[in-house]
Amino acid sequence: MADGQHIPSAESTTGEAKAVGETQMLSQTAIHPHIELSSDSLASDSADSQSAGAPVQPLTDEQIEAKLSYADIQRRKSRPRFWLLFLLSLLVVLIAPYGVGRWLAFNRTGRLITMLSSIDPRGIALLSWSVTVFCFVSLLMAFLDSMRVKWTAAFLIFLACVQFISGFCLLKAQFWFSTYVVYGSAAGVANAANVGILAAAVGLAVFAVLYVVILVVVKKSSPLNVLTEDWAALIMFWAVEIIAFVISVFSVLRMFV
């Protein structure tokens, strides 16, 4: 080997190769901007932006849903645990209060007769009608408000009250025979409670038919199309319910009191 000839060391050779590789990577990134950066570079860029004081804007629900697929969106909105708890609570509310009311009617009949004898039949009819209507309204609001907890809880509470009244007033087909056998002369008050519940149910059915007819018959350009709005439908619902209650109290109730 000739004197004065410089032989490159292994470290210098490795360093030069690394420098050449980095230069080639940077040139490829400049030519092809679609090439993604590594996670380290992204992390360093994020750290630099945060250190520079750049504000980080949180993503809104619309932006998050825009990046999700339809299946992901439906999975987020499904809430299986909530629906399972709701169905179990609904089953308990439908059975337990009605059973307690019937148990009181057959095992505490004397006390119930004493209590019912001092109540005006129209008052108990108004009470049962009001509880039933608020049960329907809370259910409607729960569906309009994506089954929010407060409306769902209100619906379950009012439904429990309706079921309890139905239980101790022996609500069923031809209930007037059962109430007369159990309560005797005080059967008129129990009959009035049943009439109030049935009046609210009939009012709901009439409103549903009217609303469907409006949706089908009325054109979108017609002024009557305003009745399909939520606030107008709610006003129409209350109007139909009040008419049903007045008719039941001043005509139907007289036959059972």
CA distances from 197 to 129, 170, 189, 234 (A): 5, 12, 13, 19
> What are 184-212's pLDDT values in tens digits?
888 889 999 999 999 999 999 999 999 89
C-alpha 179/C-alpha 173 separation (Å) is 11
Kindly provide the b/e burial profile for residues 241-257, where b requires at least 16 CB atoms within 10 angstroms of the residue's own CB.
beebbeebbeebbeebe
In this prediction, residue 133 carries a pLDDT of: 96
Q: Using one digit for the tens of pLDDT, what is the confidence trace for 123-148?
A: 999 999 999 999 999 998 888 877 78
* Residues 215 and 148 sit within 8 Å (Cβ to Cβ): no
How much is the pLDDT for 227? Answer: 79
Quick check: 218 and 157 in contact, CB under 8 A?
no
Q: What tens digit of pLDDT does each residue of 49-82 get?
A: 454 455 556 656 565 556 655 555 556 666 788 8
The residue with greater pLDDT, 30 or 254, is: 254
pLDDT for 205 equals 95
pLDDT of residue 71: 55
| CA gyration radius, the chain | 36
Give the closest residue to 83 by CA, choosing from 142, 157, 164, 140.
142
Of the chain, the end-to-end C-alpha distance in Å amounts to: 128
pLDDT of residue 42 exceeding 50, the answer is: no
